[in-house]
Structure 1
Protein backbone atom coordinates (compact mmCIF):
# COMPACT_ATOMS: atom_id res chain seq x y z
CA UNK A 1 0.00 0.00 0.00
CA UNK A 2 1.42 3.42 -0.97
CA UNK A 3 2.40 5.64 1.96
CA UNK A 4 -0.03 8.42 0.95
CA UNK A 5 -2.93 5.97 0.89
CA UNK A 6 -1.93 4.59 4.27
CA UNK A 7 -1.87 8.12 5.74
CA UNK A 8 -5.32 8.91 4.32
CA UNK A 9 -6.69 5.68 5.76
CA UNK A 10 -5.30 6.50 9.22
CA UNK A 11 -6.83 9.99 9.06
CA UNK A 12 -10.25 8.63 8.07
CA UNK A 13 -10.22 5.98 10.81
CA UNK A 14 -9.12 8.56 13.40
CA UNK A 15 -11.89 10.92 12.29
CA UNK A 16 -14.52 8.19 12.66
CA UNK A 17 -13.21 7.11 16.07
CA UNK A 18 -13.24 10.71 17.34
CA UNK A 19 -16.78 11.24 15.99
CA UNK A 20 -18.09 8.10 17.69
CA UNK A 21 -16.35 8.99 20.96
CA UNK A 22 -17.77 12.52 20.82
CA UNK A 23 -21.30 11.21 20.28
CA UNK A 24 -21.20 8.83 23.25
CA UNK A 25 -19.12 10.98 25.61
CA UNK A 26 -20.82 14.34 25.10
CA UNK A 27 -23.08 13.87 28.14
CA UNK A 28 -19.96 13.43 30.26
CA UNK A 29 -18.29 16.47 28.63
CA UNK A 30 -21.33 18.75 28.74
CA UNK A 31 -22.85 17.96 32.14
CA UNK A 32 -20.95 18.17 35.42
CA UNK A 33 -23.57 17.00 37.93
CA UNK A 34 -23.24 16.85 41.69
CA UNK A 35 -25.09 13.91 43.25
CA UNK A 36 -26.90 14.33 46.57
CA UNK A 37 -28.18 11.68 48.94
CA UNK A 38 -31.97 11.50 49.27
CA UNK A 39 -31.75 12.44 52.93
CA UNK A 40 -29.55 15.50 52.27
CA UNK A 41 -30.95 18.58 54.04
CA UNK A 42 -30.76 21.93 52.27
CA UNK A 43 -29.81 24.85 54.51
CA UNK A 44 -29.39 28.51 53.58
CA UNK A 45 -28.79 31.42 55.89
CA UNK A 46 -31.77 33.80 56.14
CA UNK A 47 -33.71 31.86 53.49
CA UNK A 48 -37.07 30.15 54.00
CA UNK A 49 -37.17 27.08 51.74
CA UNK A 50 -39.42 24.16 50.94
CA UNK A 51 -38.36 21.03 49.08
CA UNK A 52 -40.46 19.38 46.38
CA UNK A 53 -40.35 16.16 44.36
CA UNK A 54 -42.17 15.82 41.05
CA UNK A 55 -42.63 12.50 39.27
CA UNK A 56 -42.58 12.55 35.47
CA UNK A 57 -44.60 10.37 33.15
CA UNK A 58 -41.60 8.13 32.45
CA UNK A 59 -40.98 7.52 36.16
CA UNK A 60 -38.18 10.01 36.79
CA UNK A 61 -38.17 12.11 39.95
CA UNK A 62 -37.28 15.79 39.80
CA UNK A 63 -36.06 17.56 42.90
CA UNK A 64 -36.78 21.25 43.32
CA UNK A 65 -36.44 23.89 45.98
CA UNK A 66 -38.74 26.84 46.62
CA UNK A 67 -37.15 29.94 48.14
CA UNK A 68 -39.96 31.94 49.71
CA UNK A 69 -40.21 35.69 49.64
CA UNK A 70 -40.19 37.20 53.15
CA UNK A 71 -43.00 39.58 52.21
CA UNK A 72 -46.08 39.04 50.08
CA UNK A 73 -44.56 37.78 46.81
CA UNK A 74 -44.96 39.82 43.65
CA UNK A 75 -44.51 36.63 41.68
CA UNK A 76 -42.13 33.73 41.20
CA UNK A 77 -38.88 33.21 39.30
CA UNK A 78 -38.26 29.84 37.67
CA UNK A 79 -34.46 29.73 37.80
CA UNK A 80 -32.83 27.34 35.29
CA UNK A 81 -29.21 26.85 36.29
CA UNK A 82 -26.02 26.02 34.42
CA UNK A 83 -24.46 22.66 33.58
CA UNK A 84 -22.56 22.00 36.82
CA UNK A 85 -23.13 21.10 40.48
CA UNK A 86 -26.64 20.99 41.95
CA UNK A 87 -29.17 23.38 43.45
CA UNK A 88 -27.28 22.88 46.71
CA UNK A 89 -24.72 25.40 45.46
CA UNK A 90 -26.89 27.39 43.07
CA UNK A 91 -29.35 28.20 45.85
CA UNK A 92 -27.19 31.07 47.08
CA UNK A 93 -28.28 33.12 44.07
CA UNK A 94 -31.96 33.04 45.08
CA UNK A 95 -31.38 36.04 47.33
CA UNK A 96 -30.98 38.23 44.22
CA UNK A 97 -34.72 37.75 43.64
CA UNK A 98 -36.21 37.19 47.10
CA UNK A 99 -34.80 40.57 48.15
CA UNK A 100 -37.14 42.06 45.54
CA UNK A 101 -40.09 40.10 46.96
CA UNK A 102 -40.09 37.38 44.33
CA UNK A 103 -40.12 33.73 45.34
CA UNK A 104 -37.69 31.49 43.45
CA UNK A 105 -38.04 27.90 42.30
CA UNK A 106 -34.89 26.02 41.34
CA UNK A 107 -34.84 22.51 39.95
CA UNK A 108 -32.10 19.98 39.34
CA UNK A 109 -32.05 18.48 35.85
CA UNK A 110 -32.12 14.71 35.52
CA UNK A 111 -29.02 13.16 37.06
CA UNK A 112 -28.24 16.26 39.14
CA UNK A 113 -28.62 16.42 42.91
CA UNK A 114 -31.51 14.19 43.96
CA UNK A 115 -33.16 14.16 40.53
CA UNK A 116 -33.26 10.87 38.63
CA UNK A 117 -34.02 9.72 35.11
CA UNK A 118 -32.29 9.33 31.80
CA UNK A 119 -31.22 12.66 30.37
CA UNK A 120 -32.02 13.93 26.87
CA UNK A 121 -32.88 17.31 25.39
CA UNK A 122 -36.46 16.18 24.76
CA UNK A 123 -36.87 14.82 28.30
CA UNK A 124 -35.52 17.98 29.95
CA UNK A 125 -37.80 20.20 27.86
CA UNK A 126 -40.76 18.02 28.82
CA UNK A 127 -39.75 18.09 32.51
CA UNK A 128 -39.49 21.86 32.60
CA UNK A 129 -42.85 22.33 30.92
CA UNK A 130 -44.40 20.06 33.55
CA UNK A 131 -42.83 22.18 36.28
CA UNK A 132 -44.02 25.37 34.60
CA UNK A 133 -47.54 23.96 34.47
CA UNK A 134 -47.38 23.27 38.21
CA UNK A 135 -46.27 26.85 38.88
CA UNK A 136 -49.18 28.15 36.79
CA UNK A 137 -51.61 26.34 39.08
CA UNK A 138 -50.59 28.67 41.93
CA UNK A 139 -49.28 31.77 40.16
CA UNK A 140 -50.77 33.55 37.12
CA UNK A 141 -48.38 33.61 34.17
CA UNK A 142 -48.17 37.40 34.24
CA UNK A 143 -46.32 36.99 37.54
CA UNK A 144 -43.89 34.26 36.40
CA UNK A 145 -40.35 35.24 35.39
CA UNK A 146 -38.16 32.79 33.50
CA UNK A 147 -34.44 33.12 34.28
CA UNK A 148 -31.93 31.02 32.34
CA UNK A 149 -28.26 30.95 33.28
CA UNK A 150 -25.72 29.67 30.71
CA UNK A 151 -26.94 26.14 29.82
CA UNK A 152 -30.33 27.00 31.31
CA UNK A 153 -30.74 29.98 28.97
CA UNK A 154 -31.64 27.73 26.03
CA UNK A 155 -34.24 25.82 28.02
CA UNK A 156 -35.64 29.11 29.37
CA UNK A 157 -35.99 30.45 25.82
CA UNK A 158 -37.83 27.29 24.79
CA UNK A 159 -40.23 27.57 27.74
CA UNK A 160 -40.90 31.24 26.97
CA UNK A 161 -41.63 30.38 23.34
CA UNK A 162 -44.31 27.90 24.41
CA UNK A 163 -45.88 29.96 27.21
CA UNK A 164 -46.66 33.55 28.21
CA UNK A 165 -44.51 34.51 31.22
CA UNK A 166 -44.08 38.05 32.50
CA UNK A 167 -40.56 38.21 31.10
CA UNK A 168 -37.56 36.16 30.01
CA UNK A 169 -34.11 36.88 31.45
CA UNK A 170 -31.10 35.24 29.79
CA UNK A 171 -27.79 35.31 31.65
CA UNK A 172 -24.72 34.59 29.48
CA UNK A 173 -26.78 32.82 26.77
CA UNK A 174 -25.47 30.96 23.72
CA UNK A 175 -26.71 31.19 20.14
CA UNK A 176 -26.84 27.40 20.10
CA UNK A 177 -24.70 24.72 21.71
CA UNK A 178 -23.75 23.54 18.24
CA UNK A 179 -22.21 26.97 17.57
CA UNK A 180 -20.35 26.98 20.89
CA UNK A 181 -18.82 23.53 20.43
CA UNK A 182 -17.91 24.35 16.83
CA UNK A 183 -15.44 26.92 18.21
CA UNK A 184 -13.40 24.07 19.68
CA UNK A 185 -14.03 21.41 17.04
CA UNK A 186 -14.43 23.26 13.73
CA UNK A 187 -13.78 20.19 11.57
CA UNK A 188 -16.30 17.85 13.20
CA UNK A 189 -19.84 17.24 11.80
CA UNK A 190 -21.41 18.61 14.98
CA UNK A 191 -24.82 19.18 13.44
CA UNK A 192 -25.06 15.38 13.15
CA UNK A 193 -23.34 14.46 16.40
CA UNK A 194 -24.67 16.90 19.00
CA UNK A 195 -27.54 15.45 21.05
CA UNK A 196 -28.17 18.81 22.74
CA UNK A 197 -28.14 21.41 19.93
CA UNK A 198 -30.31 23.79 22.03
CA UNK A 199 -30.97 26.36 19.28
CA UNK A 200 -31.73 29.40 21.45
CA UNK A 201 -31.87 31.65 18.39
CA UNK A 202 -34.71 29.62 16.84
CA UNK A 203 -36.80 29.55 20.01
CA UNK A 204 -36.40 33.29 20.63
CA UNK A 205 -38.27 34.02 17.40
CA UNK A 206 -41.47 32.76 19.02
CA UNK A 207 -41.12 34.58 22.35
CA UNK A 208 -43.80 37.25 22.89
CA UNK A 209 -42.83 38.58 26.32
CA UNK A 210 -40.11 41.17 27.16
CA UNK A 211 -36.62 39.69 26.78
CA UNK A 212 -33.67 40.83 28.88
CA UNK A 213 -30.17 39.58 28.02
CA UNK A 214 -27.29 40.01 30.47
CA UNK A 215 -23.71 39.33 29.39
CA UNK A 216 -20.18 40.19 30.50
CA UNK A 217 -17.73 41.70 28.04
CA UNK A 218 -14.91 39.39 29.22
CA UNK A 219 -16.80 36.10 28.91
CA UNK A 220 -14.25 33.61 27.52
CA UNK A 221 -16.63 30.65 27.25
CA UNK A 222 -19.59 32.30 25.50
CA UNK A 223 -18.46 35.53 23.79
CA UNK A 224 -20.32 38.77 24.44
CA UNK A 225 -21.01 39.11 20.70
CA UNK A 226 -23.31 36.09 21.03
CA UNK A 227 -25.76 38.15 23.06
CA UNK A 228 -25.46 41.07 20.63
CA UNK A 229 -26.53 38.69 17.88
CA UNK A 230 -29.37 37.23 19.96
CA UNK A 231 -30.64 40.71 20.84
CA UNK A 232 -31.23 41.40 17.15
CA UNK A 233 -33.73 38.52 16.73
CA UNK A 234 -36.64 40.29 18.48
CA UNK A 235 -35.26 43.84 18.82
CA UNK A 236 -38.58 45.44 19.80
CA UNK A 237 -38.95 43.09 22.77
CA UNK A 238 -35.28 42.83 23.75
CA UNK A 239 -32.90 44.83 25.92
CA UNK A 240 -29.22 43.94 26.13
CA UNK A 241 -27.58 44.64 29.51
CA UNK A 242 -23.78 44.78 29.48
CA UNK A 243 -21.60 44.02 32.48
CA UNK A 244 -18.31 45.74 31.68
CA UNK A 245 -15.43 43.42 32.58
CA UNK A 246 -17.74 40.57 33.56
CA UNK A 247 -16.73 36.98 32.84
CA UNK A 248 -18.85 33.85 32.53
CA UNK A 249 -19.10 32.87 36.20
CA UNK A 250 -18.62 36.09 38.14
CA UNK A 251 -21.38 38.51 37.12
CA UNK A 252 -22.83 38.35 40.65
CA UNK A 253 -19.62 40.00 41.90
CA UNK A 254 -20.33 43.19 39.95
CA UNK A 255 -22.46 45.97 41.44
CA UNK A 256 -23.66 46.82 37.94
CA UNK A 257 -25.22 43.36 37.63
CA UNK A 258 -27.33 43.86 40.75
CA UNK A 259 -28.39 47.34 39.65
CA UNK A 260 -29.48 45.85 36.32
CA UNK A 261 -31.42 43.08 38.05
CA UNK A 262 -33.22 45.60 40.27
CA UNK A 263 -34.19 47.68 37.24
CA UNK A 264 -35.30 44.65 35.23
CA UNK A 265 -37.39 43.02 37.94
CA UNK A 266 -39.01 46.18 39.28
CA UNK A 267 -39.53 48.00 35.99
CA UNK A 268 -42.96 48.54 34.46
CA UNK A 269 -43.59 48.73 30.70
CA UNK A 270 -43.90 52.32 29.49
CA UNK A 271 -45.98 53.26 26.48
CA UNK A 272 -44.24 55.84 24.32
CA UNK A 273 -45.84 58.07 21.70
CA UNK A 274 -43.06 57.84 19.13
CA UNK A 275 -44.60 60.61 17.06
CA UNK A 276 -43.40 63.03 19.75
CA UNK A 277 -39.79 61.80 19.58
CA UNK A 278 -36.93 62.26 17.13
CA UNK A 279 -37.32 58.73 15.79
CA UNK A 280 -38.00 59.92 12.23
CA UNK A 281 -35.64 62.87 12.24
CA UNK A 282 -32.89 62.44 9.67
CA UNK A 283 -29.46 63.63 10.73
CA UNK A 284 -27.95 65.04 7.57
CA UNK A 285 -24.21 65.18 7.08
CA UNK A 286 -24.47 67.48 4.06
CA UNK A 287 -23.07 70.97 4.41
CA UNK A 288 -25.55 73.81 3.87
CA UNK A 289 -25.27 75.57 0.53
CA UNK A 290 -23.46 78.89 0.60
CA UNK A 291 -25.63 81.96 0.06
CA UNK A 292 -25.19 83.73 -3.31
Structure 2
Protein backbone atom coordinates (compact mmCIF):
# COMPACT_ATOMS: atom_id res chain seq x y z
CA UNK A 1 0.00 0.00 0.00
CA UNK A 2 1.40 3.40 -0.95
CA UNK A 3 2.15 6.09 1.62
CA UNK A 4 -0.49 8.50 0.20
CA UNK A 5 -3.17 5.84 0.69
CA UNK A 6 -2.01 5.17 4.28
CA UNK A 7 -2.04 8.90 4.98
CA UNK A 8 -5.57 9.27 3.60
CA UNK A 9 -6.76 6.35 5.74
CA UNK A 10 -5.20 7.88 8.82
CA UNK A 11 -6.87 11.22 8.16
CA UNK A 12 -10.18 9.46 7.55
CA UNK A 13 -9.85 7.53 10.81
CA UNK A 14 -8.98 10.68 12.72
CA UNK A 15 -11.96 12.50 11.21
CA UNK A 16 -14.24 9.59 12.14
CA UNK A 17 -12.97 9.60 15.73
CA UNK A 18 -13.46 13.38 15.96
CA UNK A 19 -17.00 13.09 14.59
CA UNK A 20 -17.90 10.29 17.01
CA UNK A 21 -16.35 12.14 19.96
CA UNK A 22 -18.15 15.33 18.97
CA UNK A 23 -21.45 13.49 18.63
CA UNK A 24 -20.99 11.85 22.03
CA UNK A 25 -20.20 15.18 23.69
CA UNK A 26 -23.20 16.76 21.97
CA UNK A 27 -25.44 14.01 23.34
CA UNK A 28 -23.97 14.51 26.82
CA UNK A 29 -24.65 18.24 26.54
CA UNK A 30 -28.22 17.57 25.42
CA UNK A 31 -28.72 15.19 28.34
CA UNK A 32 -27.40 17.84 30.72
CA UNK A 33 -29.62 20.60 29.34
CA UNK A 34 -32.82 18.67 28.63
CA UNK A 35 -32.70 15.96 31.31
CA UNK A 36 -35.70 17.27 33.23
CA UNK A 37 -37.82 16.86 30.11
CA UNK A 38 -36.95 13.15 30.37
CA UNK A 39 -37.95 13.00 34.05
CA UNK A 40 -41.08 15.14 34.36
CA UNK A 41 -44.11 14.98 32.08
CA UNK A 42 -46.52 17.66 33.38
CA UNK A 43 -50.20 16.79 33.18
CA UNK A 44 -53.22 19.10 33.41
CA UNK A 45 -55.83 18.46 36.07
CA UNK A 46 -58.76 16.62 34.50
CA UNK A 47 -61.12 16.83 37.49
CA UNK A 48 -62.54 20.04 38.88
CA UNK A 49 -61.74 19.51 42.54
CA UNK A 50 -61.61 21.85 45.53
CA UNK A 51 -58.17 23.45 45.65
CA UNK A 52 -55.65 24.75 48.11
CA UNK A 53 -53.04 27.14 46.71
CA UNK A 54 -49.60 27.18 48.32
CA UNK A 55 -47.91 30.53 47.84
CA UNK A 56 -44.23 29.71 47.96
CA UNK A 57 -41.33 32.05 47.23
CA UNK A 58 -41.21 31.56 43.47
CA UNK A 59 -44.40 29.71 42.50
CA UNK A 60 -48.01 28.94 43.29
CA UNK A 61 -48.51 25.24 43.90
CA UNK A 62 -51.96 23.74 43.50
CA UNK A 63 -53.26 21.01 45.80
CA UNK A 64 -56.43 19.02 45.14
CA UNK A 65 -58.19 18.59 48.47
CA UNK A 66 -61.09 16.95 50.24
CA UNK A 67 -61.55 18.88 53.49
CA UNK A 68 -62.51 16.88 56.56
CA UNK A 69 -62.71 17.80 60.22
CA UNK A 70 -60.73 15.70 62.65
CA UNK A 71 -57.15 14.79 63.45
CA UNK A 72 -56.36 12.60 60.43
CA UNK A 73 -54.99 13.81 57.10
CA UNK A 74 -53.34 12.21 54.08
CA UNK A 75 -50.83 13.85 51.74
CA UNK A 76 -50.24 12.24 48.34
CA UNK A 77 -47.37 12.70 45.88
CA UNK A 78 -47.86 11.16 42.44
CA UNK A 79 -45.77 9.86 39.58
CA UNK A 80 -43.81 11.83 37.01
CA UNK A 81 -46.71 11.83 34.51
CA UNK A 82 -49.68 11.64 36.86
CA UNK A 83 -52.71 13.86 37.25
CA UNK A 84 -53.17 13.40 40.99
CA UNK A 85 -56.69 14.87 40.95
CA UNK A 86 -57.96 11.64 39.39
CA UNK A 87 -57.30 9.85 42.69
CA UNK A 88 -59.54 12.09 44.75
CA UNK A 89 -62.90 10.31 44.26
CA UNK A 90 -61.52 6.85 45.12
CA UNK A 91 -59.40 8.18 47.99
CA UNK A 92 -62.42 10.03 49.43
CA UNK A 93 -64.38 6.78 49.47
CA UNK A 94 -61.51 4.60 50.72
CA UNK A 95 -60.31 6.97 53.46
CA UNK A 96 -63.49 8.63 54.74
CA UNK A 97 -61.95 9.76 58.04
CA UNK A 98 -59.00 11.58 56.44
CA UNK A 99 -58.69 15.06 55.04
CA UNK A 100 -57.01 14.64 51.64
CA UNK A 101 -54.24 16.73 50.07
CA UNK A 102 -52.94 15.72 46.63
CA UNK A 103 -50.10 17.96 45.45
CA UNK A 104 -49.69 18.97 41.81
CA UNK A 105 -45.95 19.41 41.20
CA UNK A 106 -44.75 22.64 39.66
CA UNK A 107 -45.86 22.72 36.05
CA UNK A 108 -48.57 20.12 36.76
CA UNK A 109 -52.31 20.68 37.19
CA UNK A 110 -52.19 24.47 37.15
CA UNK A 111 -49.18 24.89 39.43
CA UNK A 112 -46.75 27.52 38.21
CA UNK A 113 -43.00 27.12 37.91
CA UNK A 114 -40.88 24.22 36.71
CA UNK A 115 -40.34 20.95 38.58
CA UNK A 116 -37.03 19.97 40.16
CA UNK A 117 -36.12 17.72 43.05
CA UNK A 118 -35.25 20.54 45.44
CA UNK A 119 -38.27 22.67 44.50
CA UNK A 120 -40.64 19.72 45.01
CA UNK A 121 -38.97 18.89 48.34
CA UNK A 122 -39.46 22.46 49.58
CA UNK A 123 -43.07 22.51 48.41
CA UNK A 124 -43.71 19.20 50.19
CA UNK A 125 -42.38 20.61 53.47
CA UNK A 126 -44.55 23.71 53.05
CA UNK A 127 -47.63 21.58 52.43
CA UNK A 128 -46.93 19.31 55.39
CA UNK A 129 -46.47 22.24 57.77
CA UNK A 130 -49.76 23.77 56.63
CA UNK A 131 -51.65 20.49 56.98
CA UNK A 132 -50.03 19.68 60.33
CA UNK A 133 -51.31 22.99 61.67
CA UNK A 134 -54.87 21.61 61.40
CA UNK A 135 -54.37 17.85 61.67
CA UNK A 136 -52.18 16.14 64.24
CA UNK A 137 -52.01 12.77 62.44
CA UNK A 138 -50.63 13.13 58.92
CA UNK A 139 -50.03 10.07 56.73
CA UNK A 140 -47.81 10.47 53.66
CA UNK A 141 -48.20 8.46 50.44
CA UNK A 142 -45.88 8.57 47.44
CA UNK A 143 -46.22 6.73 44.15
CA UNK A 144 -43.35 6.07 41.73
CA UNK A 145 -41.41 9.35 41.47
CA UNK A 146 -43.43 10.60 44.42
CA UNK A 147 -42.15 7.80 46.64
CA UNK A 148 -38.80 9.59 46.73
CA UNK A 149 -40.55 12.83 47.69
CA UNK A 150 -42.56 11.05 50.40
CA UNK A 151 -39.68 9.22 52.08
CA UNK A 152 -37.60 12.41 52.18
CA UNK A 153 -40.50 14.30 53.76
CA UNK A 154 -41.13 11.55 56.31
CA UNK A 155 -37.48 11.72 57.40
CA UNK A 156 -37.85 15.46 58.11
CA UNK A 157 -41.33 15.91 59.54
CA UNK A 158 -43.50 14.11 62.17
CA UNK A 159 -45.68 12.06 59.83
CA UNK A 160 -47.55 9.16 61.45
CA UNK A 161 -47.57 6.66 58.55
CA UNK A 162 -45.70 6.26 55.26
CA UNK A 163 -46.86 4.34 52.19
CA UNK A 164 -44.59 3.98 49.16
CA UNK A 165 -46.08 2.63 45.93
CA UNK A 166 -43.75 1.14 43.27
CA UNK A 167 -40.79 2.81 45.02
CA UNK A 168 -37.12 2.93 44.01
CA UNK A 169 -33.86 3.37 45.90
CA UNK A 170 -32.35 6.06 43.66
CA UNK A 171 -33.27 7.78 40.42
CA UNK A 172 -29.55 8.10 39.75
CA UNK A 173 -29.08 4.34 39.92
CA UNK A 174 -32.06 3.80 37.63
CA UNK A 175 -30.61 6.29 35.14
CA UNK A 176 -27.21 4.60 35.23
CA UNK A 177 -28.91 1.33 34.23
CA UNK A 178 -30.91 3.00 31.46
CA UNK A 179 -28.08 5.11 30.01
CA UNK A 180 -24.94 3.05 30.69
CA UNK A 181 -22.81 4.76 28.03
CA UNK A 182 -23.23 8.23 29.55
CA UNK A 183 -21.56 9.67 32.69
CA UNK A 184 -24.92 9.99 34.43
CA UNK A 185 -23.39 10.48 37.87
CA UNK A 186 -21.77 13.67 36.63
CA UNK A 187 -24.69 14.94 34.58
CA UNK A 188 -27.77 14.22 36.67
CA UNK A 189 -29.25 17.15 38.59
CA UNK A 190 -32.22 15.44 40.29
CA UNK A 191 -31.02 12.25 41.93
CA UNK A 192 -33.89 11.38 44.29
CA UNK A 193 -31.67 9.22 46.50
CA UNK A 194 -34.53 7.81 48.55
CA UNK A 195 -32.24 5.29 50.26
CA UNK A 196 -30.39 8.10 52.04
CA UNK A 197 -33.58 9.22 53.77
CA UNK A 198 -35.00 5.78 54.50
CA UNK A 199 -32.44 5.21 57.24
CA UNK A 200 -33.89 8.21 59.12
CA UNK A 201 -37.53 7.11 58.99
CA UNK A 202 -38.93 5.70 62.23
CA UNK A 203 -42.68 5.52 61.53
CA UNK A 204 -44.56 2.45 60.27
CA UNK A 205 -43.91 2.17 56.53
CA UNK A 206 -45.51 0.07 53.80
CA UNK A 207 -43.80 -0.54 50.46
CA UNK A 208 -46.08 -1.78 47.67
CA UNK A 209 -44.41 -3.46 44.69
CA UNK A 210 -46.04 -4.51 41.40
CA UNK A 211 -45.19 -8.07 40.38
CA UNK A 212 -44.87 -7.14 36.69
CA UNK A 213 -43.30 -3.70 37.09
CA UNK A 214 -41.39 -2.89 33.91
CA UNK A 215 -40.33 0.60 35.04
CA UNK A 216 -38.88 0.10 38.52
CA UNK A 217 -36.80 -3.11 38.80
CA UNK A 218 -37.68 -5.18 41.85
CA UNK A 219 -34.02 -5.00 42.86
CA UNK A 220 -34.39 -1.22 43.26
CA UNK A 221 -37.41 -1.60 45.56
CA UNK A 222 -35.66 -4.31 47.56
CA UNK A 223 -32.58 -2.10 47.94
CA UNK A 224 -34.71 0.73 49.34
CA UNK A 225 -36.45 -1.66 51.74
CA UNK A 226 -33.11 -2.78 53.17
CA UNK A 227 -32.18 0.79 54.09
CA UNK A 228 -35.06 1.24 56.52
CA UNK A 229 -34.26 0.54 60.17
CA UNK A 230 -35.14 -2.97 61.24
CA UNK A 231 -38.82 -3.41 62.04
CA UNK A 232 -39.92 -0.11 60.50
CA UNK A 233 -40.93 -1.19 56.99
CA UNK A 234 -43.04 -3.95 55.46
CA UNK A 235 -42.76 -4.89 51.78
CA UNK A 236 -45.78 -6.36 50.00
CA UNK A 237 -46.26 -7.32 46.36
CA UNK A 238 -49.48 -7.15 44.35
CA UNK A 239 -49.60 -10.02 41.87
CA UNK A 240 -50.51 -9.73 38.21
CA UNK A 241 -50.12 -5.96 37.87
CA UNK A 242 -47.59 -3.61 36.33
CA UNK A 243 -46.14 -0.24 37.24
CA UNK A 244 -49.07 1.74 35.83
CA UNK A 245 -51.84 -0.76 36.51
CA UNK A 246 -51.16 -1.42 40.20
CA UNK A 247 -53.98 0.92 41.22
CA UNK A 248 -56.44 -1.19 39.19
CA UNK A 249 -56.04 -4.09 41.61
CA UNK A 250 -58.79 -4.55 44.23
CA UNK A 251 -55.98 -5.07 46.76
CA UNK A 252 -54.48 -1.64 46.14
CA UNK A 253 -56.66 0.63 48.25
CA UNK A 254 -57.24 -2.08 50.84
CA UNK A 255 -53.50 -2.50 51.45
CA UNK A 256 -53.02 1.25 51.64
CA UNK A 257 -55.88 1.55 54.13
CA UNK A 258 -54.38 -1.24 56.22
CA UNK A 259 -51.09 0.69 56.24
CA UNK A 260 -52.65 3.91 57.55
TM-score (norm 2): 0.89
3-state DSSP of counterpart to 2:133? helix
What are the superposed Cα offsets for residues 163-205 of structure 1, whole Å, 9 maximum, x if unpaired?
1211111000111111112222111111111121100111111
Alpha-carbon spacing, 1:113–1:175, altered in 2? closer, same or farther (3 Å)? same
Which range moves more in the overlay, 246-255 or 125-134? 246-255
**Pick from 21, 30, 48: which aligns with 1:42?**
48
What are the superposed Cα offsets for residues 94-137 of structure 1, whole Å, 9 maximum, x if unpaired?
246424x2221011111111110233221111111011110111
Is the Cα contact below 8 Å between 2:164 and 2:208 reproduced in 1?
yes
Instruction: Tell whether 2:83 aligns with 1:86.
Output: yes
Distance 2:78 2:19 in 1: 41
Instruction: Tell whether 2:250 aligns with 1:244.
Output: no
Is the Cα contact below 8 Å between 1:211 and 1:237 reproduced in 2?
yes
Provide the aligned length of Structure 1 versus Structure 2: 250
Aligned match of 1:65: 64
Residues 254-265 of structure 1 aligned to structure 2 (within 5 Å): 254-265=249-260
Instruction: Report the aligned-residue RMSD.
Output: 2.0
Q: How far has the Cα of 1:25 moved from its partner?
A: 1.4
Is the Cα contact below 8 Å between 2:209 and 2:221 reproduced in 1?
yes
Residues 106-145 of structure 1 aligned to structure 2 (within 5 Å): 106-140=102-136, 143-145=137-139
3-state DSSP of counterpart to 1:33? coil
Distance 1:87 1:236 in 2: 31
Q: How far has the Cα of 1:3 moved from its partner?
A: 3.4
Q: How far has the Cα of 1:5 moved from its partner?
A: 2.6
Aligned match of 1:6: 15
Is the Cα contact below 8 Å between 2:205 and 2:259 reproduced in 1?
no
3-state DSSP of counterpart to 1:182? helix
Alpha-carbon spacing, 1:81–1:51, altered in 2? closer, same or farther (3 Å)? same
With CA pairs under 8 Å and 6+ residues apart, which has the higher RCO, 1 or 2?
2
Residues 1-292 of structure 1 aligned to structure 2 (within 5 Å): 1-35=10-44, 42-43=48-49, 50-58=50-58, 60-69=59-68, 73=70, 75-95=72-92, 97-99=94-96, 101-140=97-136, 143-234=137-228, 235-265=230-260
For structure 1, which runs of at least 5 residues remain unmatched after alignment? 44-49, 266-292
For structure 2, which runs of at least 5 residues remain unmatched after alignment? 1-9
